Amino acid sequence: MDQYYLNLIAIGGSFALYIGIAVWARAGSTDEFYAAGRGIHPVTNGMATAADWMSAASFISMAGLIAFNGYSASAYLMGWTGGYVLLALCLAPYLRKFGSFTVPEFIGDRYYSRTARLVAVLCLIVASLTYVIGQMTGVGVAFSRFLQVENDTGLFIGAGVVFFYAVLGGMKGVTYTQVAQYVVLVFAYTVPAIFISLQLTGNPIPGLGLFSEFEATGEPLLTTLNKTLADLGFASYTEQDSDPSAIINMTLFTLTLMIGTAGLPHVIIRFFTVPKVSDARLSAGWALVFIAIVYLTAPAVGAMARMNIMSTIWPGGTGENAQAIELDALPPWFENWGTTGLLGWEDKNGDGRLQYFDSDGDTLPPVAVASGSDENELTNFNRDILVLANAEIARLPSWVIALVAAGGMAAALSTAAGLLMAISSAVSHDLIKRSINPNISDKAELMWARGSMAAAIAVATWLGLNPPGFAAQTVALAFGIAAATIFPVLIMGVFTHRVNNKGAVAGMVSGLVFTVVYIFLHKGWFFVPDTNQFADTIEGALFGIQSTAIGCVGAAINFIVAFVVSAQTEDTPQEIRDMVENVRVPRAA
C-alpha cells in the first residue's frame, strides 16, 4: 500500500479512537470537568500523566538534541525525570490532601489572598501558552510531511480534534484519551528504535544496543561514533565540555528543568484526579515508570540516528579519503523532508557533492578541505525532524513510518490538551468562580469552563499559525516561568507557615519579572522601533548564565523575597497555620 494511505489510516484511526473515548467519557459536572470526578486509578493516572508530559518536545525534539549535542543533552533526561521525583516527594500528596481543583486555587486559599490567586493565574497562563505554541506548531509540521497538506491546514485539523475531545470531555475525557495516546506514542517511539538497534548492533533492546558492538566495525557503537565524528572534525559525542562556564550552565539548566517540571500546572493538576492522598504519590511513581520506557530509549535513538546520518552523508567512510555523498544519490528522505522547509541543501561550489562540517570547530574535515569551500552546503537541518524521519533514514517498513506519524500526533495533542485544560480551569474556576462571580451555578460554571477551553484553543491555534520570533525558545521560557514563580510558592505553601500573603505575591512577581526580563535581554527579544527589528543577543548577562538555565536563579530570588517581605510584615493568621500543619502532617499522626 502507498505510504500516504498508510499514514492516513494510522493518523485517522488514532483520531477516531480519541473522539470515541471523548464521547464515552464526556464530563457532566464541574467536578468531572476539572478533576475527572477524583476517581482515576493511580496506574491509569500515571499513564495519562506520562502522555501529558511526553510532549512534542520529548517525543520529537529530545532525541534530536541528544543526537547533535551528545553528553551535554543528558541534562534534559536528568532534569525532566528528576522533576517527577520532586513532585512525588514534595508536592503531589500534599496538594491532593488540600483538595483543590487548580494550582491558583491552592495558592489563593493558602495565602488567603485574591491578589495571590490572580498573579498565579497570570503565571499559569503565560507559561502554558508559551509551552502550547510548540505543540500546535508540531501538529502542523507532522501533518505537512505525512499527509502532504499545508501546515496551516494540518494545524486546523489538529485543533479541531483537540477541541472536540477536550471541550466535550474535560479532564475526564482528556485523561482516558491520554491513556490511549500514551499507548500510541510509546509504540511509535520504541518499535523503530528496536528495528534500528537490530540493524546496527543485533541487540533488540535499544538501551543495551547503545553499548553493544557496532556490526560494521566490531567495536562498541559509541566508540565507533566518537571515532567517526573525530575523523570528520566534529566534537566528541560522549565527552563533557571542560569549560567551567559550560559545567555551571549544565548544572543550573538541569536544576531549572527539575523545578520547572515540578511547577508546571498541567502536570500538577493530574494529581488532583485520584481518589486518595496515597494515590497521588503512587501516580507519580507509575508516571516515572511509563516515562522511563521512552527516556531510557532516547539516548539510543539519538546516537543511532547520528550514526545513520553520518553514514548517509559520507557513504564511503571517514578519514583522509572521505568523500561526501553525490547530490544525485541523496536518499528519498532528503526529498521528502526538503518539501517541508525543515531540511535544505545547496551545491555552493558546484562539485556535485553535499559538503557538511562542524563550522564551530577549528579543524575542518578532509572532505571540506578537498572541496575548496569554507561553507556548509547542508544549509538547514532542523533537529526536530530527527525522530519523525528516523524510520525513513533507516529505511524501515512503511507501516513503521505510519506508526511514527501517529505517535508524533499523539505526543503533541496529549500535551496540548493538558495545557489547555490547565488554562481553562484557571479562567473558569479561579477567575470567574472564585474572583468575579462566587454565586455562579454549577451549570453556568461548566458552560464557562467549556467556553474558556474553546477560547484557549483558538488562541493556541492562532499562535501556532503566527508563532512569535522567539517561538523556538518558548519551552525555555515556559520552564523558567514555572520554576521561578509557581514551584517556590507551592513549596513554601506546604512546608512553612511563615510566608504570608504579601511575601507570596512579592516573591512571585519578583521571580516572574527577573526571569522574563533576563530571557528577553539574553535572547535579544526587545524590539527596537528605530531599526524595526529585535535587539542583538546579549551573551552572558549574569556570570555567563544562559537564558535556559536562569529559572533556578529566579526561583532563589522568589524564595528570598518571599521570606524577607513576610518577616517585615504581619504574621500568618492562626487558621492558616493550622491548615498548613493539617496538610503536611499525615492523618494517622
Question: pLDDT tens-digit profile of 27-42?
Answer: 777 888 888 888 899 9
CATH number at residue 413: 1.20.1730.10
The pLDDT, as a whole number, for residue 460 is: 81
Mean predicted confidence (pLDDT) in 194-206? 92
Question: What integer best gives the mean pLDDT of the chain?
Answer: 82
The pLDDT, as a whole number, for residue 351 is: 77
| 138 is a domain residue | yes
The pLDDT, as a whole number, for residue 524 is: 63
| 134 is a domain residue | yes
The β-bridge partners of 196 are none
| 384 is a domain residue | no
Percent of the chain exceeding pLDDT 70 equals 88
Mean predicted confidence (pLDDT) in 286-294? 90
The pLDDT, as a whole number, for residue 359 is: 46
Residue 265 has pLDDT above 70, yes or no: yes
Lowest mean pLDDT across 16-25, 93-102, 214-223, 317-326: 317-326
* φ/ψ bin of 105: left (φ > 0), alpha (ψ from -120 to 50), beta (otherwise): alpha
The pLDDT, as a whole number, for residue 373 is: 45
Residue 363 has pLDDT above 60, yes or no: no
The pLDDT, as a whole number, for residue 45 is: 92
The β-bridge partners of 527 are 534
326 phi, psi to nearest 5 deg: -75, 140
**Please, are residues 104 and 435 in contact by the beta-carbon 8 Å criterion?**
no
| 352 DSSP assignment | S
**Predicted confidence (pLDDT) per residue in 295-315, tens digit:** 899 899 989 988 888 888 887
| 359 is a domain residue | no
Percent of the chain exceeding pLDDT 90 equals 21
Question: What is the count of structural domains for the chain?
Answer: 1
The pLDDT, as a whole number, for residue 357 is: 63
**Please, are residues 195 and 396 in contact by the beta-carbon 8 Å criterion?**
yes
**Predicted confidence (pLDDT) per residue in 378-426, tens digit:** 777 777 777 778 888 888 888 888 888 888 888 877 888 888 888 888 8
The set of cell numbers assigned to 329 is 544519490
Question: Per-residue DSSP letters for 406-472?
Answer: HHHHHHHHHHHHHHHHHHHHIIIIIIIIIII-TT--HHHHHHHHHHHHHHHHHHHHHHHHS--TTGG
Q: Given pLDDT bands bounded at 50, 70 and 90, which one contains residue 370? A: very low
Structural domain boundaries enclosing 108: 3-304+392-584
Burial of 521 (0-12, 13-18, 19+ CB in 10 A): middle
Q: Given pLDDT bands bounded at 50, 70 and 90, which one contains residue 471? A: very low
| 136 is a domain residue | yes
| 507 is a domain residue | yes
The SS3 assignment for 343 reads strand
Q: Give CA torsion, residues 471, 472, 475, 476, to 10 deg.
A: -110
The pLDDT, as a whole number, for residue 320 is: 60
Total residues found in the chain within this entry: 589
Residue 53 parent element (H or E): helix 42-53
pTM: 0.84
The pLDDT, as a whole number, for residue 535 is: 45
Q: Given pLDDT bands bounded at 50, 70 and 90, which one contains residue 120? A: very high
Q: CB under 8 Å to 36, separation ≥6 — which residues? A: 27, 170, 171, 172, 175, 273
| 199 is a domain residue | yes
**Please, are residues 547 and 518 in contact by the beta-carbon 8 Å criterion?**
yes
Q: Given pLDDT bands bounded at 50, 70 and 90, which one contains residue 536? A: very low
**Please, are residues 77 and 251 in contact by the beta-carbon 8 Å criterion?**
no
| 93 is a domain residue | yes
Mean predicted confidence (pLDDT) in 198-207? 92
Lowest mean pLDDT across 102-116, 257-271, 325-339, 535-549: 535-549
**Please, are residues 108 and 114 in contact by the beta-carbon 8 Å criterion?**
yes
Helix axes 62-69, 386-393, angle to 10 degrees: 70
The pLDDT, as a whole number, for residue 147 is: 75
Residue 187 has pLDDT above 60, yes or no: yes
**Predicted confidence (pLDDT) per residue in 56-67, tens digit:** 767 777 888 888
Mean predicted confidence (pLDDT) in 42-55? 87
**Please, are residues 194 and 204 in contact by the beta-carbon 8 Å criterion?**
yes
